[in-house]
Structure 1
Amino acid sequence: MHIDELWEGEMEGVEVGGEKVLLINVDGEVRAYRNRCPHQAWALDEGDFDGQTLTCVRHMWVFDARSGTGVNPDNCRLNSFPCKVDEDGTILVDVG
């Protein structure tokens, strides 16, 4: 995926190396998380992203989109992947 396809405040579910990944553009910085809520593995790209927090549509769990840490409840965390935007604008995700 190219950075021009993921504007600030947007998220997109993609597949990388067989892994379902959620890409989120938070204030111009791209984050990559496993596209599954840690609660019951619901697809996070079906939830809501307000530019700062991500809310799982299934049970309304809320996460800080920049860090992946839980807001409600605060004792959980999204599974993250290292990612960067290459010089040509391609978003690169390392799913290991």
Structure 2
Amino acid sequence: MSAATGQWQEAMRIDDLWEGDMEAVEVAGKKVLLVNVGGDVRAYENRCPHQAWALDEGDFDGETIICTRHMWEFDAGSGQGVNPNNCRLTVYPCRVTESGAIMVDVG
């Protein structure tokens, strides 16, 4: 997980990212994948560690992110690889403000 640098930027509004949804956004020039896992928002680099395929082109069942290129699977809550289990997604610090802004720190 990347450490927060204090350079928080608004990525989108929580009202636009429903539970079980994922959305690709750009934050400070970086491609970010936002996922809403049971009401908790997570932010990852929008690329599969296998061959840098865009993860937003894949599937998300509310718990698992699946890259459509070679069917690699990742736990949406942690970014840890499920299949195979020896990899992980790059995690960005993420929080939701009281006003509903999803803030991401890509450093």
Query: What TM bracket, shorter-length normalisation?
Result: over 0.9
**Matched residue, 2:39:** 28
Q: 1:89 deviation in Å?
A: 0.2
1:88 and 2:96 correspond: no
Matches within 5 A, 1:40-55: 40-55=51-66
Give the structure-2-normalised TM-score: 0.89
- Name the counterpart of 1:71: 82
User: Sequence identity, in percent?
Assistant: 73
**Structure 2 residue identity aligned to 1:73:** P
Q: Tell me, in whole angstroms, the C-alpha distance in 2 between the residues paired with 1:38 and 1:86.
A: 30
After TM superposition, the runs of 4+ consecutive aligned structure 1 residues lying more than 4 A away are none
Tell which has more relative contact order, 1 or 2 (C-alpha 8 A, sep 6+). 2
Normalising to structure 1: TM-score of the pair? 0.99
- SS in structure 2 of the partner of residue 88 of structure 1: coil
Q: How far apart, CA to CA, are the structure 1 residues paired with 2:18 and 2:83?
A: 26
Q: Deviations over 1:34-55 (max 9, x none)?
A: 0000000000000000000000
Q: Number of residues paired by the alignment?
A: 96
Structure 2 runs not aligned, ≥5 long = 1-11
The residue type paired with residue 58 of structure 1 is: R
Gaps of 5+ in 1: none
